Every structure is written in structure tokens, then in C-alpha cells.
Amino acid sequence: MSEHEHGPSDRRALRAEALESLLLEKGLVQPETIDAVVRHYEQDVGPMNGAKVVARAWTDPAYKRRLLENGTAAIAELGFGGPQGEHIVVVENTPAVHNVVVCTLCSCYPWPVLGLPPSWYKSPAFRSRVVREPRAVLAEMGLALGPDVAIRVWDSSSEVRYLVLPQRPAGTEGLREAELAAWVNRDSMIGVSQPTPPQDAPRE
């Protein structure tokens, strides 16, 4: 059961509505601005942004170097940036090393490239366990890594945000950048999944 299913949602809805109406009356916020923020995060920002970054890195070695050296600047080259993306570090998966990202203290997440975090990322189960037993958690989530693969967990406890650069899957050699982006699912950029063929990957 995910967290949001607990507790009296209706009460929170009424409370939020009351607070919003008071802030409107006091002239501090405008309804159109609130609508615009919601729309932005529902439609304009999401893992499709990060997927473009990853696909570019898979096809352009010079871009990949820049991305690993200065993630924020390389991501800005594709037009992405903003709140919770002030300083983005990109960590690269290899056959020997697998990276996974968490925020144990709250739910810090690179909004400009991944959008807002899914419920599991915010859940006490993931936040408590992935630093203690990452191998078991990843296997449970469907990513069984061999004992020869080292796992590095990145706890986003400062203002730095992390993005995982997954390995380019075998069999994608002939694909163009735009086609490759469709392989890059959200979870692979957090580090709990691998890229998947487009038909297996509902776009989050």
C-alpha cells in the first residue's frame, strides 16, 4: 500500500482549499499561477527530459564526457534546468558498477530531468532499506545484479541532485538518438531498473 492511501484525504483537500482561498484573498498568489505550476509538473517536466539526456550521452561521446564532468551545464545544453536542479551530478553505470539514488532524510530528486518523484521513492520502505540492503531491494524491484557487480548508493543529503546514466542496452546499435530515448525509463535513471524496449515500458 502506498503512503497516500492512508489517512483522511478529504480532510486534507478541505484544508488545502481553505488555505488556498486565504492566500488568494491576501493577494499573495493568483489562481492562474497555481494552475501553471501544476500544469508544468504534470505535462512539461518528467522522465522524458532525462531520457533525452541519456540518449544524447549514448550517441555523442563528447557530450557524455561533458555530462559526467559537469552534469548541470551539459543538461542545460538540452534546455533543462530549474528548481531542484541547481547542481546535478551524473553517475555512470558500467558492467562492474551499478549506481542507485535515494534521499533518506526527505525525498530530494532531480526535478528538471525526472519530474516529481514516484510514491515508492518517497516511501519509508525504500528510504530505510536501500542504504542497508541495496542488493536485496533492487532484486525485489526486479533488478537482480550479479555478485560481481558493485553497488554504489548515493544519498542526496545536500543540495546536490543525482542522475544515473544507465548502460546502453545490447542490440540498440543501429538506433538513432530519438529512438534510444524511448528505451530510457524513469526507474533506470534512479538506478532501480535497466533500460527496457519501448513496448515494455509504459511512459511514466
Partner 1 sequence: MNGIHDLGGMHGFGPVKAEANEPVFHATWEGRVFALANLCLGLGFGNIDRFRHAIERLPPATYLTVGYYGRWLAALETLLAEDGVVGPAEIDAREQGKPLPGPAIAAPAPPENVSGAAKRALDAAPRFRSGQLVRARNINPRGHTRLPRYVRGKRGVVARVHPAWVFPDTNAHARGENPQYAYAVRFEAAELWGPEAEAGTAMHVDLFESYLEPASGNE
Do 90 and 160 touch, CB atoms closer than 8 A?
no
CA distances in angstroms from 75 to 51, 119, 173, listed in the order given = 11, 25, 23
Residues 113-172 that bind partner 1 (CB under 8 A): 115-116, 118-120, 122-137, 140-141, 147-160
Residues 47-76 that bind partner 1 (CB under 8 A): none
Query: Closer CB to partner 1, residue 21 or residue 60?
Result: 21
CA distances in angstroms from 7 to 3, 4, 18, 100, 125, listed in the order given = 9, 8, 19, 30, 18
Is 128 a catalytic site residue?
A: no
Cell numbers describing residue 179: 529512438
Is 106 a catalytic site residue?
A: yes
Cell numbers describing residue 43: 505535462
Q: Residues 6 or more apart from 155 whose CB is under 8 A from it?
A: 102, 103, 104, 131
Query: Closer CB to partner 1, residue 15 or residue 65?
Result: 15
Distance CA 55, CA 64 (A): 10
The active-site residue out of 9, 106, 128, 157 is 106
Smallest distance, Å, CB 176 to partner 1?
27
Residues in contact with partner 1, shown as a per-residue x/- string from 12 to 41 under the rule CB under 8 A: xxxxxxxxxxxx-xxxxx---xx--xx--x
- The answer to the question of residue 92 lying near partner 1 (CB under 8 A) is no
Smallest distance, Å, CB 173 to partner 1?
30
Binder among 1, 79, 176, 200 for partner 1 (CB under 8 A): 1
Q: Where are the beta strands (DSSP E) in 16-96?
A: 88-92
Do 100 and 138 touch, CB atoms closer than 8 A?
yes
Is 158 a catalytic site residue?
A: no
Smallest distance, Å, CB 55 to partner 1?
22
Smallest distance, Å, CB 138 to partner 1?
10
